[in-house]
Amino acid sequence: MPQEMLTIGQVAERSGLATSALRYYESEQLIEAQRTDGGQRRYPREVIRRVAFIRVAQTVGLSLDDVRDALTRLPQGRTPTRSDWQRLSRTWRPRIDARIRELELLRDELDSCIGCGCLSLGACALYNPGDRAAGFGAGPRYLIGESSTTPVP
């Protein structure tokens, strides 16, 4: 039975991406299309799963380089199996778990002093007097690991 091939428009419609994004993913070697005699792109149906995988990975903060590296671990020339996808997802579990912790911290702590240096909240005078957190470096120091009780280096 011949493999079902989809046009770029069909993949765009099903994946929710613009055709320009699909062409970009192809130029970045994240997905692959075959060409008709007239030069039109045709994608195997399983490319939709790859595109979904790419979108989800980007949503959780992974870069296209991370995605490309992961996709190179999938088998060439055959549709990845469930165990292929499971193996690949296990490699990202620690990073995704860390991202979840960061998001929970952001959700729970954004309304208090985060050590960013703005000193605009009343709590900042207690937790970050005189922008003490700047001694740890740039950014929202209390959200990215430091504590208001940690001695400044």
At the second CATH level, the architecture of 5-94 is Orthogonal Bundle (1.10)
Q: Residue ranges per domain, the chain?
A: 5-94, 110-153
Residues 91-111 have pLDDT tens digits of 888 888 988 888 888 888 878
Residues 61-98 have pLDDT tens digits of 888 998 888 888 877 766 678 888 788 788 888 888 98
- Report the pLDDT value the prediction gives residue 79, as an integer from 0 to 100: 67
pTM reported for the whole predicted model: 0.66
Q: Please enumerate in sequence order all residues whose Cβ is within 8 A of that of 139, keeping only pairs 6 or more positions apart, or say none.
A: 116
Residues 2-13 have pLDDT tens digits of 678 999 999 999
Least Cα distance to 55 among 81, 90, 31 occurs for 31
pLDDT of 19 strictly over 90: yes
